[in-house]
Amino acid sequence: MNRIHYETSGIQNSEIKTQLKNALDKINGVSMVNIDVARGSIEVGYNQSADENLIKSCIETVGCEITGQSLEQ
């Protein structure tokens, strides 16, 4: 499983956190989503069938701005 970690701005409350988690969970291949509102961070675990660009686009569509990212394999 690959993991990617995003630093973001825009996760302001639990409603946005829930919307973001639900949207990411719908992406085929995403198996884990951890969102830390206080730190503004999102960690996503995914397999090869998930597209990293789709994950990033999903986060931005919900209204969060990605300010940094790191990939772990």
Structural domains of the chain in order of their starting residue, each with its CATH number: 2-72 (3.30.70.100)
Is the distance from CB of 56 to CB of 48 less than 8 angstroms?
A: no
Please name every residue paired with 56 in a beta bridge, in sequence order, or none if there are none.
none
Instruction: Supply 54's token pair.
Output: 């789709």
Q: For position 73, what pLDDT does the model report?
A: 61
pLDDT tens digit string along 23-71? Answer: 999 999 999 999 999 999 999 999 988 989 999 999 999 999 999 988 7
Is the distance from CB of 5 to CB of 69 less than 8 angstroms?
A: yes
Q: For position 26, what pLDDT does the model report?
A: 96
Q: For position 25, what pLDDT does the model report?
A: 96
Q: For position 48, what pLDDT does the model report?
A: 87
